[in-house]
Structures are given as C-alpha cells and as structure tokens.
Amino acid sequence: MLSNVYSKTYVQSSRDGFWLFRSILFDRLMPVLESAAQSDSPVDVHELNYATTMDFISCWLFGLGNDSNFIRDVETRRKYLGWHFGRSEHYFWFAEMPTLTQWLQNIGIHLCPKWVDEANGEMQAYLLQLCRCANQSMQTEIAETERAQRTRPVVYSQLADSLKASFTNPEEGEKKQVSEEIELHIASELLDHVIAGMDTSAITLTYLLWEMSQHPEHQLALRKDLGKLSPTLVLENSHTLPSARAVDALPYLQSVIMETLRLHPAIPGPQPRITPPTPTSIAGSPPLPGGVRVSAQAYSLHRNKEVYGKADEWQPKRWLYIEPGKNEEPLRWFWAFGSGGRGCIGKNFAMQGKLTPQTCQPHAAQPSSIWSGSLTNHPELKFVVAAIYSNFTTTIVDDAGIEQVDGYTGPPAGNQLKLKFTRLVSEGPEGDRRPRIYLPGDLGYVAPEDQS
C-alpha cells in the first residue's frame, strides 16, 4: 500500500521531493546555522536535528506547507519534543507488556504516569491536525510556481486513496472525501511514520556531527569530495541542488554515514521474534522449541571484532576498501535498517545509496556506474551532512551526556549536544574552503592568515 512511495524509483523521480529538500535545507536549516556562526553562538544540534528530521518526514507525509515547520517554530517544537521525550522513558511497558499494562490500567493501576497518556493524546491530536491540513490541500491543484512553498502530501494522498477504495462499497461509487473513520486510520498509521522517521535520523545526525567535530581531518576529506559537486551545496547556490547521482558518487560521504550507523545505531536494541511451532535451528543453533522468543540487535552485530577490526573506534575509511569477493563480511553484518519484511520502510528516504562492494571502490573511473542498489534522489541524511560541511566547520562546545542510552532506541543520555559552527570562505585557487572570520556588524570577513 505504501512501499512504492518510499521506493528508490519513486523518490528519485519526485519533484515534490526536490522542492521540499531544497526548501528545508536552504530556507530553514542553513539560515539558523549561518546566524549562529555570525553571532558565535553554540547550537544544540540534537534538538535542531529532531526539528530538521521532523520537518523532512512531515513534508513527505503531509506536503510542504502542511508540515511541522519545527526548525522555525521553536515554541511548538519544544512542546512536541517534551511530549515525545517524556513518553519515551516509559516505552518498555507499552512495547514489552502491552496486554498487562492495558489490563492493569483498566482496573485503575497505572504502570506509567497518567501524564504519559496525556502526552500520547497531545501527539495524536497534533498529527490529526496535520492530516486535516493535508486533506484540505488535496482539494486544489498545485501550480509549478507554488512548488517552493507547497508540495503534494505524497504519503497521505497514497494512503487516503488506498483506504477510500477499501472502505467504499462499489454500489455507492467513489468517495472523494476522507471520512472520519478513514481519517483516524490514516492518523494512526502516519504517527508511526513520524516517530520512526524523526527519531532514527535525528539520533544518527547527532552522533555523526559529534564524531566529525572531533576529527577535523575527516571534515577536510569530506569537504574535498563535496567540492566536486556541480552545482555545489554552498549557500550561494541555494536555488538548486546537485543531482542524486553526483552525491552518490562521493564515497567518503557514504562511508561517514555508514560508520556512524555502525558504531552508533539509532536502534541498538533487540528485534524480538517468536520461533515457529515446530523445532527450528537458527544460524546453526541446536533446534529451538516452538514459541520461544529470540532476538538479534545491531549493537552486538556491529561490534563483532572479527568482522570490524577495532570495532569500538569510529573509522569511516574501513568502508572505502571493500572488494568484491574478498572482504564483504562488514556488509553482511551491517544491520542498521533491519532486513526482510520487517526492515525499515523509510531507509530509501533517509539515506541515499545502498552500500555494495561496487560502491565502495574509491578509484572507480565512472561515478555514474559505481553506485547500485537503493538509490534515492533527495534523501535527508546525505543532503543534510553535505550541506553542513559544504558551508561550515564544526567543533564541540558541550557534549556532556553524549553516551547512548541503553535501550531499544539509543539517543544521548544528556539529550543535548552543543556545537560551534564556523562559516567557510569562498573556494581558493585549489578548491579549498577556509574558516570565515566575521567582523563586528558583519562588515566583511578575512581568512585567518590575512588578519592584521
């Protein structure tokens, strides 16, 4: 019902995707970072990452113009994140013991504080309002001149059309309006998309920025690759975006993201399954009886030292030298998005490119041929990282509590990461970009070695 609107081919050809990515990057996110760089103010990127990923996923679901707009709307953002973070602390009871939790609640015993139910209700009401805005926007056509401010509610419209067909009696004819019953079904489904799409990408961005901020040499290496894009993602080119294929041809960007997903998976916790009724062997184990709960988790798989040498260290270059038929084990053990029927449906939206042995070769002659598999045209992770490091360097101001929470999801224990952003000057004769030094009142700038 929905897999096609998250598929590589759909996102790759989507004009709605182009406009929402351009708008969020250059009309919302980059101005915030530019302002912080000018004022020399630290940015809590963990909160900003949640705002950014919420804007991306809500735009894809409900359309640009009907979305959360959390990057700009700080008050609503903090209210929503307060509900989200508060309820997340009590995730165990709803996830692991839903029947017991509900049964006890029916007789007046609350394993979770009552305000958790209130927070859930507020989040549901907020999503229902976004659904209604999306439904209203479907009643009018979008002119091409409006694309920069308004896009089609891609996922909402697909789900609404499918459900209307399911709920319509053929003798009654087609229902053009979304009924209240259908509306509630849609809101329930898309709440899951919002939570999953916001959480995982935000956590990944936080740890990627944290690792990069400790390693200026990786920032420089990535920046050299980003300088090969045409057009580049510098602020002066804010009217357009480079092609997906061009971004896909940057192996260092892919490696930085892959290594972050490996060492800091947003979902490090167990993925439980129940064995079938008859005794079953799993991965060479002795036969397991039916009805037994088993699980695997990315955290453990990604720290196998026999597969990932120095597995506890962040080393993006490990992904650059995978050769076909020789050392493909790192790919086989990589499980950041799960796999099979329960794998992440939104991985093509979140990330561009599927790492295969062919994609990892750093000396491939033709960039257009080295990337295969899960291509998408305007995925959030790659474009956000590319836009940031095309325009800024980052350094750590405060990373207290950066260790990952020991749970199903793994955000920072301190729920914050403050970074300093320094603007880069225009390209030099060799394509280098250097830190920009702002003068009082932003009257101009000079490179560090040019200061008197």
- pLDDT tens string, the chain, 452 residues long: the values are 777 788 767 876 788 888 898 999 999 999 999 999 999 999 999 999 999 999 999 999 999 999 999 999 999 999 999 999 988 888 788 878 889 988 998 999 989 898 998 999 999 999 999 999 999 998 888 776 676 788 899 999 999 888 887 765 555 555 556 688 888 989 999 998 998 889 999 999 999 999 999 999 999 999 999 999 999 999 988 888 987 778 877 999 999 999 999 999 998 988 888 899 999 898 788 999 999 988 888 999 999 999 999 999 999 999 998 776 777 888 888 877 655 555 444 444 444 444 443 344 433 322 222 222 332 333 789 999 999 999 999 999 999 999 999 888 899 999 999 999 999 976 554 446 666 544 334 333 333 343 33
Helix (H) or strand (E) run with residue 43 in it: strand 43-44
The secondary structure of residue 303, as a DSSP letter, is T
Q: Which two tokens stand for residue 127?
A: 């999503």
Q: 61, 60, 53, 64: which is closest to 23 by C-alpha?
A: 64
CA distance 159 to 61: 10
> Are 199 and 403 spatial neighbours (Cβ–Cβ below 8 Å)?
no
What's the one-letter identity of residue 327?
A: N
Helix (H) or strand (E) run with residue 125 in it: helix 114-137
The secondary structure of residue 24, as a DSSP letter, is I
List strand residue ranges (DSSP E) for 235-391, in order: 270-274, 293-297
Q: What is the pTM of this model?
A: 0.84
> Are 193 and 61 spatial neighbours (Cβ–Cβ below 8 Å)?
yes
Give 272's strand partners: 295
Q: 381, 138, 397, 382: which is closest to 249 by C-alpha?
A: 382
Report in angstroms the alpha-carbon separations of 126 from 58, 123, 153, 188, 193: 12, 5, 16, 12, 14
Assign 290 to helix, strand or coil: coil
Give 294's strand partners: 273
Which pLDDT score is estimated for 353? 42
Q: Which two tokens stand for residue 295?
A: 């699980």
Q: 242, 240, 235: which is closest to 31 by C-alpha?
A: 235
CA distance 323 to 331: 11
Query: Residue 95: which residues within 8 A CB-CB, separation 6 or more?
Result: 408
Please state the length of the chain: 452
CA distance 376 to 11: 6
Report in angstroms the alpha-carbon separations of 251 from 174, 207, 246: 49, 19, 11
Which pLDDT score is estimated for 339? 54
Cis bond upstream, residue 216 (ω within 30): no
Q: Describe the chain by its helix, strand, coil percentages, rounded to 5.
A: 55, 10, 40
**412-422 burial code (b ≥16 CB/10 A, e <16):** beebbbbbbbb
> Are 386 and 379 spatial neighbours (Cβ–Cβ below 8 Å)?
no
Q: Which two tokens stand for residue 368?
A: 């257009």
Which pLDDT score is estimated for 2? 76
List strand residue ranges (DSSP E) for 367-451, in order: 392-398, 418-423, 437-438, 445-446
Helix (H) or strand (E) run with residue 210 in it: helix 180-214
Which pLDDT score is estimated for 350? 43
Which pLDDT score is estimated for 373? 30
